[in-house]
Amino acid sequence: MSTAPTVRRFGLRAAVGALAITLALAGCSSGGGGTAASSGPAAKPSLEFAGPNGEKPGALSELSLTSSEQAKVKDGKYTAAFVWHTSSDFVTAVEKGAREEFKNLGIDVVASTQANFNAATQANNVQTVLALHPNIIVTIAVDPTSAAEAFKPAVDAGTKLVIMTTPPAGYQAGKDFVSIVTENLTEAGQANAEILGDALGKTGEVGYISYNANFWFTNQRDKSFKDWLAYEYPDMKIVDSEGFADETATQTIAAAMIAKNPNIKGIYVSWATAAQGVVAAIKAAGRSDIQVVTNDLDTTLAASMASGTNVAGMVGNGSLGIGKGLALAGAYGVLGKTAPALVASDPTKVTKADLDKGWLSDYGTQPPSSITGG
C-alpha cells in the first residue's frame, strides 16, 4: 500500500504514582520504541468501530435478496471483475466465496487482477478490466488517495463498485460505491490479544509491529490489539513498537527489535504475509521462545504453528462470508437497491488445537498438505 507512511509511536502502561509522573515527564513516549507511563489500570476498550467515513457496521446477515430479486439479477446476465490489492490465502478465500455467490446469481466473472500493493499497477488493472465492461467491480484500494482518480472512469461508466475494507478517498456509500464489506475490527484485535495472552501465560514483554500508513481498517484493528492487551493482561507490556510501510521490511524490523529487547516473548504483526518476515527473523535469532500472533490465515504461518514453533495463532476474518457479502452487495448495486454502508463478519481465533476446524470454517477447505504433512 503506497500511502505515504506516517510514523507512529506507541506507549507502554507502567508503574503508578510518582514513578509514572517521572517517566512521563522524561518523555518516555517519544523516540524509537519508547514506553509511556499510565496512572492506573487500563479502561475497558470499546468494541465499536467505524468505517472510513464514520459508517457504523451492521451484520453480514443484513445483506439478503428476495427470490424475485434473485430472478431479476439472473435475467440481467451481469458480469463482475475483481481488482485486488495483493494476493494471499485470505484474498483467494474471499474471492472463492464471492465467485460461489456470483454463480448462484448467474453473474459471470470476467477478470481477476492483483497489484502487489502497487497503486500504479492497480490503476492499470482498472483500465484493463474496464475494457471488458463489467457491471460490478469488487475491489480494495491500494492507496485511497490515488485510487480516487483511478476508479473515476468506473464510477462514470456506471460500474457498481463493491469494497472490501477500503474505498477510494472521498467516495461515499450509495453514491460512488455500493457498500463496504469487512470484518469486525475491534473483535479481531481482542482475539489477537487473547491468543497471545494465553500463549504467554498472561505475562511477559511484547513487541508490536504495525502498518504505519493512514489505513482506517488496519489502524483500528492494530489499536484494538493494544487496547485489549493492556486491559485483559496488565502483566504483559509492549516494550517496543515499530511501524512498516513495506511488508517485506518486517524481517529486518523484527531482527532489530529482538536484538534490542532480548526478553521479548511475543510479537504482534498487522497481517499474515507481513508476519512471515517476523517469524523468519525469530528463527534466524535462534529464539524458539518467541510467539507471534497476527491476522489472516496463512499457509506458511500455519505450518509453523502446526509444528509448535513461533506462531501462537492467527485470527481468521470469516473470509467466505465476506466474499458472499461482496457478491450480494454487487447484486444490490445492479438492482438499484440501497445496501448498508458497512457490514462486518465475525473473526475467529485459530490456534494449533483447532487449526483444521478454523481453516475449514474460514477458507472452506481442509488445510493443505504442506501444513498437515499429509
Sequential DSSP letters for 280-291: HHHHHTT-TT-E
For the chain, residues classed under CATH 3.40.50.2300 are 58-184+318-346, 185-316+352-360+364-368
The pLDDT of residue 177: 98
Q: What is the largest CA-CA distance in the chain?
A: 72
The domain covering 185-316+352-360+364-368 belongs, at the CATH homologous superfamily level, to Response regulator (3.40.50.2300)
Q: Which amino acid is at 36?
A: A
Residue 154 · residue 126 · CB < 8 Å:
yes
The pLDDT of residue 369: 86
The pLDDT of residue 213: 84
> What radius of gyration do the chain's Cα atoms show?
21
The pLDDT of residue 374: 57
Q: What residues of the chain score a pLDDT lower than 70? A: 1-40, 373-374
The pLDDT of residue 178: 98
- Grid cell 463478519 is found at 345
Backbone phi and psi for residue 23, each to the nearest 5 degrees, phi listed first: -65, -40
The pLDDT of residue 61: 94
Q: Which amino acid is at 46?
A: S
The pLDDT of residue 333: 98
pTM: 0.83
CA separation for the pair 216, 328 (Å, rounded) = 23
The pLDDT of residue 15: 33
Report the b/e string of 302-327 with b at 16+ CB within 10 A.
bbbbbeebbbbbbbbbbbbbbbbbbb
Task: Name the 3-class secondary structure at 212.
Answer: coil
As a CATH number, domain 58-184+318-346 is 3.40.50.2300
Q: Which residues contact 266 (CB under 8 A, 6 or more apart)?
A: 196, 199, 200, 204, 205, 206, 207, 236, 290, 291, 292, 293, 312
The pLDDT of residue 218: 93
Tell me the per-residue pLDDT of 128-175, one tens digit each, with 9 for 90 and over: 999 999 999 999 999 999 999 999 999 999 999 999 999 999 999 999
